[in-house]
Amino acid sequence: MSLSRFTIRTSDRRVFRRCLRKWGFMSSLKGNLQRKGSEQNINFWFGSAIHFAMEDYHGWNKFGDPRRAFKAYYDCFPAEERPAGADLMYGVGIGMLTYYLEWYSRKNRDLEFETLWLDQDNKMVSANTLRAQPAVEQQFFLDLGIRVVVDKKTERILCEYDVSMEDIGSATWPQIVRMHNGFNLDGDENSDGYTLYYFEGPNTLPEEKIEVSIVPIHYHGTIDKIVVDRLGRWWLLDYKTAKGADTNKLDTDDQISAYMWAAEQWFQHPIYGFIYLQLTKDVARPPKRLKNGELSVEKKQKTTYALLRQAIIDDFGSIQKAPNKYIEFLNIMAEKETPEGDRFIRWDFVKRSRNQLISTYNHVMGEARTMIDPNIYLYPNPTRDCIWDCPLRDVCLALDDHRNEEVNFMLSDGYENRPRGEEGKEPEWRDKLVYPEEQLGLALDSDFAEELDSVFDIELPSEFTEDDIKE
Domain boundaries, the chain: 53-111+436-466, 146-219
pLDDT band at 439 (very low <50, low <70, confident <90, very high): very low
233-251 mean pLDDT = 92
| Backbone phi and psi for residue 201, each to the nearest 5 degrees, phi listed first | -155, 180
Residue 470 in this model has a pLDDT that exceeds 90: no
Residue 186 in this model has a pLDDT that exceeds 70: no
Strands 273-280 and 234-242 come out as parallel
pLDDT digits (tens, 9 = 90+) for 380-411: 999 999 998 898 999 999 999 999 999 999 99
Query: First and final CA of the chain: distance in angstroms?
Result: 36
Residue 187 in this model has a pLDDT that exceeds 70: no
Please tell me which of 1-5, 244-248, 369-373, 389-393 the model is most confident about, judged by mean pLDDT: 369-373
- Mapping DSSP to helix (H, G, I), strand (E, B) and coil, where does residue 356 land? helix
pLDDT band at 113 (very low <50, low <70, confident <90, very high): very high
Q: What is the pLDDT of the chain when averaged over all its residues? A: 87
Residue 38 in this model has a pLDDT that exceeds 70: no
Residues 6+ apart with CB under 8 A from 9: 219, 220, 221
Nearest 5°: CA angle at 164, between 163 and 165?
A: 90
- Per the model's pLDDT, the better-predicted residue between 242 and 255 turns out to be 255
Residue 441 in this model has a pLDDT that exceeds 60: no
174-187 mean pLDDT = 67
- The proportion of the chain whose per-residue pLDDT surpasses 70, expressed as a percent, equals 86
375-382 mean pLDDT = 95
Out of 73-82, 102-111, 410-419, pick the least confident: 410-419
Of 332, 304, 348, the residue nearest 103 (C-alpha): 304
Strands 234-242 and 210-228 come out as antiparallel
Out of 83-87, 149-153, 459-463, pick the least confident: 459-463
pLDDT band at 50 (very low <50, low <70, confident <90, very high): very high
- The proportion of the chain whose per-residue pLDDT surpasses 90, expressed as a percent, equals 71
Out of 20-24, 231-235, 431-435, pick the least confident: 431-435
- Per the model's pLDDT, the better-predicted residue between 37 and 95 turns out to be 95
pLDDT digits (tens, 9 = 90+) for 322-365: 999 999 999 999 999 999 999 999 999 999 999 999 999 999 99
Per-residue model confidence (pLDDT) at position 425: 65
Per-residue model confidence (pLDDT) at position 201: 85
Per-residue model confidence (pLDDT) at position 460: 53
Residue 299 in this model has a pLDDT that exceeds 70: yes
Per-residue model confidence (pLDDT) at position 180: 76
pLDDT band at 463 (very low <50, low <70, confident <90, very high): low
Q: Annotate 73-92 with b (16+ C-beta within 10 A) or e (fewer).
A: bbebbeeeebbebbebbbbb
Residue 442 in this model has a pLDDT that exceeds 50: no
pLDDT digits (tens, 9 = 90+) for 116-170: 999 999 999 999 999 999 999 999 999 999 999 999 999 999 999 998 888 766 6
Instruction: Report the half-sphere exposure of 240 (CA within 13 A, side-chain side).
Output: 16
440-444 mean pLDDT = 42
279-283 mean pLDDT = 93
- Mapping DSSP to helix (H, G, I), strand (E, B) and coil, where does residue 310 land? helix
Per-residue model confidence (pLDDT) at position 436: 87
pLDDT band at 30 (very low <50, low <70, confident <90, very high): very high
pLDDT band at 243 (very low <50, low <70, confident <90, very high): confident
Of 342, 347, 131, the residue nearest 236 (C-alpha): 347
* Long-range pairs for 403-406: beta carbons < 8 A, 24 or more residues apart: none
**DSSP labels, 181-240:** -SS--TTSS--SSEEEEEE-STT--GGG-EEEEEEEEEEEEEEEEEEE-TT--EEEEEEE
Residue 237 in this model has a pLDDT that exceeds 80: yes
Chain-centroid distance, C-alpha 385? 22
Residue 185 in this model has a pLDDT that exceeds 80: no
Please tell me which of 235-249, 368-382, 434-448 the model is most confident about, judged by mean pLDDT: 368-382
Residue 446 in this model has a pLDDT that exceeds 60: no
Per-residue model confidence (pLDDT) at position 167: 76
